[in-house]
């Protein structure tokens, strides 16, 4: 049937694709970059990148759902060979997750996933790898690549802990905020070859106004 120029133009405008196959690949986790892209496409001004986040009102999976997710990933990626572990939410931790091998316990950070709820499957897969590879070594990274898990979690201003200690270089006065004490450390900027140099040994900066813990 011969279509008129006007009809062809209308069909092209509709951009219909009735034969597009249904994808079986799970959608990629929502990230900060996708949120920026969505805001740009909607022509919404992006004033503060740090403020763009998934709505915390989204309900997180229950613990029972986390166990079902664990079983599914275990059979899908590990042939069901991973041992049973305890899974729980942590209301205190600010990181995405953790695995304690001596307790066989996976903790999922509630605060982190209230900001990034789309990352909860990724976090669980990451912690499942820790059952067989405790450190973030070459074997861990290879396994993460195989099953499509991230090696590092995202950062967000509300998840950062205030530093307990602040050290400074006696030469350039560069500050080094830290959660733990530094004993034998020198300024990375002034020391050559990334080796300890006693001339630039970091000294603890006392800030009584901020009441930094000793």
Distance CA 193, CA 186 (A): 12
* Confidence check: pLDDT of 40 > 50: no
At residue 184 the predicted structure's pLDDT band, cuts being 50, 70 and 90, is confident
Q: 98: part of which helix (H) or strand (E)?
A: strand 97-100
74 and 145 assigned to the same domain: yes
Instruction: Please count the other Cβ atoms lying within 10 Å of the Cβ belonging to residue 106.
Output: 23
Position 97 in a domain: yes
142 and 169 assigned to the same domain: no
* Confidence check: pLDDT of 182 > 80: yes
79 and 147 assigned to the same domain: yes
149 and 183 assigned to the same domain: no
Q: What is the mean pLDDT of residues 202-210?
A: 67
Instruction: Please count the other Cβ atoms lying within 10 Å of the Cβ belonging to residue 116.
Output: 23
Q: What is the mean pLDDT of residues 186-211?
A: 78
172 and 143 assigned to the same domain: no
What's the pLDDT tens digit per position in 134-169?
999 999 999 999 999 999 887 777 766 777 888 999
Distance CA 196, CA 201 (A): 8
- Residue 75 sits in a domain of what CATH number? 3.30.2010.10
Question: Closest by alpha carbon to 91, among 123, 68, 124, 114?
Answer: 114
* Average pLDDT for the chain: 76
pLDDT of residue 63: 96
Q: How many domains does the chain have?
A: 2
Q: 99: part of which helix (H) or strand (E)?
A: strand 97-100
DSSP letter string, 109-165? EHHHHHH-GGGHHHHHHHHHHHTT--SSSHHHHHHHHHHT--SS----GGGPPPPSE
Range of the domain at 192: 165-204
The more confidently predicted of residues 56 and 109 is 109
What's the pLDDT tens digit per position in 43-94?
444 334 333 343 444 689 999 999 999 999 999 999 999 999 999 999 988 8
151 and 67 assigned to the same domain: yes
pLDDT of residue 146: 96
* Confidence check: pLDDT of 13 > 60: no
Give the single-character DSSP code of 49.
Answer: G
Lateral strand order in the sheet of 175-178:
175-178, 165-168, 203-204
Give the single-character DSSP code of 141.
Answer: H
Position 52 in a domain: no
């Amino acid at each position: 049937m011969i279509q008129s120029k006007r009809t062809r133009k209308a069909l092209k405008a509709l951009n219909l694709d009735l034969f597009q196959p249904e994808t079986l690949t799970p959608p990629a986790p929502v990230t900060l970059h996708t949120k920026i892209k969505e805001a740009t496409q909607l022509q919404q001004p992006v004033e503060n990148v740090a403020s763009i986040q998934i709505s915390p009102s989204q309900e997180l999976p229950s613990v029972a759902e986390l166990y079902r997710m664990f079983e599914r990933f275990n059979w899908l990626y590990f042939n069901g060979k991973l041992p049973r572990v305890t899974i729980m939410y942590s209301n205190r931790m600010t990181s995405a997750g953790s695995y304690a091998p001596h307790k066989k316990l996976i903790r999922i950070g509630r605060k982190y996933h209230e900001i990034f709820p789309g990352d909860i499957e990724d976090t669980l897969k990451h912690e499942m790898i820790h059952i067989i590879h405790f450190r973030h070594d070459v074997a861990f990274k290879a396994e993460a690549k195989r099953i499509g898990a991230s090696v590092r979690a995202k950062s967000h201003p509300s998840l950062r802990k205030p530093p307990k200690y602040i050290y400074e270089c006696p030469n350039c006065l560069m500050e080094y905020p830290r959660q733990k004490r530094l004993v034998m450390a020198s300024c990375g900027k002034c020391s050559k070859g990334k080796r300890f140099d006693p001339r630039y040994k970091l000294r603890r900066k006392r800030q009584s106004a901020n009441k930094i813990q000793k």
